[in-house]
Amino acid sequence: MARPDGYTAFVNGGLGKRLAATLGLPQPVPLRRHSPGAAPADGPVLVGGHADTPAIAGLRAGLTAAGVTLTETVPEGIRLGGVVVDLTAAVTPADLESLRATLAPALKRLGRCARVVVVGRHPADASSVPERAARRALEGITRSVGKELRAGATANLVLVTEGTEAAALGTVLFLLSGRSAYVDGQVFRVGSDRATADGADPERPLAGKVAVVTGAARGIGADIARTLGRDGATVVCVDVPAAGGSLAAVANEVGGTALQVDVTADDAGARIAAHARTRHGGLDVVVHNAGITRDRLLANTDAERWASVLDVNLLSILRMNEALLAADGLRDGGRMVLVSSIAGIAGNRGQSSYAASKAGVIGLVDGYAADEGLVARGITVNAVAPGFIETEMTARIPLATREIGRRLNSLAQGGLPVDVAETIAFFAADAQAAVSGTVVRVCGQSLLGA
Ligand code: NAD
């Protein structure tokens, strides 16, 4: 699953490495990705910032229990696996100094593919204007650090709510691990209203769950099925009848079942829910991944092209969810994850229909996550917005454009389908009960968009 592209492989060899350094070319490194049994972080993790807040006390205990080695100083001769900085007590921009003071020496001592995780509070909950400014400033700092880091290291921000900091532990662990290899420069919002249901086996957090993945015959969908299966879920793999052969192969590989359904069919949702119920006893996780592009400049886009993209990528989700979110569909405490795109955030030349559909997906997340009925049932709804991911969809892009798309991000390489799948598996776990209504870009901090 995890193969670097040809250029990345070249610049990590002897001659290529020297050539890239001499010519000042991008020097991507093979990213640290999760493998079963891997340590939760790759080296000791420095904890700093406002060192004695409830947020950091809870995190320290949780990280230690999860097997992370913590340190409060930068040990001589040792490379750090990561830095976690707690800024939850910041009340004015002057308090940001403790972030600088922690990060400045630590950044020089980071190991390959290390992680910077900043923990702060939601700006909207601030009780004064200076406090709101300080909280918001964390986003700018984290994103800048992400752009300064080299050698596969990433920086992300986790916003927590007062009193429920424990719910952030799963997010911080995800960010320290190889599961978040291509997640960079992102803001993770952890809500307040639910305790973290934990105690799951960290290697099989989805054990006993039934998950449906649409568009599972190939590309990102196939790796979502593999990753959810690896994490313990029984996976129902859905794709069009024309992809039946590869769909069956993926379903067999993950020990799940295949269901040939066109997601645009009126009865698609009802058929998926019925299959999950009758074959597997219910439904816990739905991943709406199936998607298409029909790229043209808007001036050259006819009604048929426009409608097909909107229908597969957006309207089908609305229609299917009538059955999937009904009482006999997704179980209480269920998880729904949608696949958007950075094109839906930044827009893209020639992709107005696709961008409309993928921005619409973000609207769906906002709408469902605020739905009181779904909140009462403990159902969370989140989305991933992939950037440039190495799949058949992106292999069709002309070479020069493809190479630009691949390099224009902080990690100077395209992501792999498994990178998107890992973030989806993160959202799908019981431990993420307090994470809903968020959109996380899996884009290596692409320079396109926000
Ligand atoms: P892909 O074309 O390789 O695979 C898409 C799968 O969806 C195929 O197996 C296809 O048969 C299936 N599908 C299409 N229409 C369907 C329908 N009507 N009913 C059921 N199945 C259908 O694409 P991919 O690159 O794996 O993309 C997966 C998702 O990720 C899509 O939603 C795409 O928009 C999104 N995405 C991809 C990238 C990228 O760089 N590859 C970037 C951003 C977002």
pLDDT tens digits for range 131-144: 999 999 999 999 99
Q: Is the pLDDT of residue 334 over 80?
A: yes
| Mean pLDDT confidence for 192-202 | 66
Average the pLDDT over each of 48-52, 103-107, 153-157, 304-308 and give the range with the smallest value: 48-52
Q: Is the pLDDT of residue 1 over 50?
A: no
Return mean pLDDT, the chain: 93
180: which residues sit within 8 A by CB, 6+ positions away?
A: 115, 154, 156, 174, 422, 423, 426
Q: What pLDDT shows up at residue 380? A: 97
Q: State whether residue 391 is helix, strand or coil.
A: coil
Q: What pLDDT shows up at residue 21? A: 73
Question: Measured in angstroms, how far is the CA atom of residue 337 from the centroid of ligand 1?
Answer: 14
* Residue whose CB lies within 8 A of the most ligand 1 atoms, among 212, 214, 220, for a mutation test: 220
Q: State whether residue 208 is helix, strand or coil.
A: coil
Q: How confident is the model at residue 442 (pLDDT cuts 50, 70, 90)?
A: very high
| Mean pLDDT confidence for 420-430 | 97
Q: Catalytic pick from 7, 182, 354, 368? A: 354
**Which atom from ligand 1 is nearest to the alpha carbon of 293?**
34
| Mean pLDDT confidence for 216-222 | 97
Residue 447: CA atoms inside 13 Å, Cβ hemisphere, count?
11
**Domain covering 39-190 assigned CATH 3.40.50.1460 in the classification:** no
pLDDT in tens, 341-379: 999 999 999 999 999 999 999 999 999 999 999 999 999
CATH of domain 210-442: 3.40.50.720
Spatial distance between the Cα atoms of 408 and 395, rounded to a whole number of angstroms: 16
Question: Measured in angstroms, how far is the CA atom of residue 59 from the centroid of ligand 1?
Answer: 37
Q: Is the pLDDT of residue 164 over 80?
A: no
Higher pLDDT, 163 or 244: 244
Q: Is 354 a catalytic residue?
A: yes
**Which atom from ligand 1 is nearest to the alpha carbon of 417?**
26
Q: Is the pLDDT of residue 2 over 60?
A: no
**What percentage of the chain has pLDDT greater than the value 70?**
96
Question: Measured in angstroms, how far is the CA atom of residue 222 from the centroid of ligand 1?
Answer: 10
**Which residues form ligand 1's pocket by a CB distance below 6 Å?**
214-215, 217-221, 239-240, 243, 262-264, 289-292, 312, 339, 341, 386, 388-389, 391-394
| Mean pLDDT confidence for 26-37 | 90
| Mean pLDDT confidence for 279-295 | 97
Which residue do the tokens 């190479």 mark?
Answer: 403
pLDDT in tens, 38-96: 999 999 999 988 767 777 788 888 999 999 999 988 888 899 999 999 999 999 999 99
Question: Measured in angstroms, how far is the CA atom of residue 52 from the centroid of ligand 1?
Answer: 46
**Which atom from ligand 1 is nearest to the alpha carbon of 290?**
7
**Which atom from ligand 1 is nearest to the alpha carbon of 313?**
32
C-alpha angle with apex 217: 216 to 223, nearest 5 degrees?
55
Please, are residues 439 and 385 in contact by the beta-carbon 8 Å criterion? yes
**Which atom from ligand 1 is nearest to the alpha carbon of 388?**
40
Higher pLDDT, 394 or 114: 114
* Residue whose CB lies within 8 A of the most ligand 1 atoms, among 226, 310, 393, 416, for a mutation test: 393
**What percentage of the chain has pLDDT greater than the value 90?**
79
| Mean pLDDT confidence for 154-164 | 90
Please, are residues 238 and 225 in contact by the beta-carbon 8 Å criterion? no
Q: What pLDDT shows up at residue 320? A: 98
Q: Whose Cα sits closest to atom 16 in ligand 1?
A: 290
Fold equal for 39-190 and 210-442: yes
Q: State whether residue 361 is helix, strand or coil.
A: helix
Average the pLDDT over each of 170-174, 192-196, 274-278 and give the range with the smallest value: 192-196
Q: Is the pLDDT of residue 233 over 80?
A: yes
Question: Measured in angstroms, how far is the CA atom of residue 432 from the centroid of ligand 1?
Answer: 25
Q: What pLDDT shows up at residue 450? A: 46
* Residue whose CB lies within 8 A of the most ligand 1 atoms, among 391, 397, 413, for a mutation test: 391
Question: Measured in angstroms, how far is the CA atom of residue 364 from the centroid of ligand 1?
Answer: 18
Q: Is the pLDDT of residue 196 over 60?
A: no
User: How many C-beta atoms surround the C-beta of residue 26 within 10 A?
Assistant: 15
Please, are residues 291 and 224 in contact by the beta-carbon 8 Å criterion? no
| Mean pLDDT confidence for 251-274 | 98
Domain regions of the chain by residue span: 39-190, 210-442
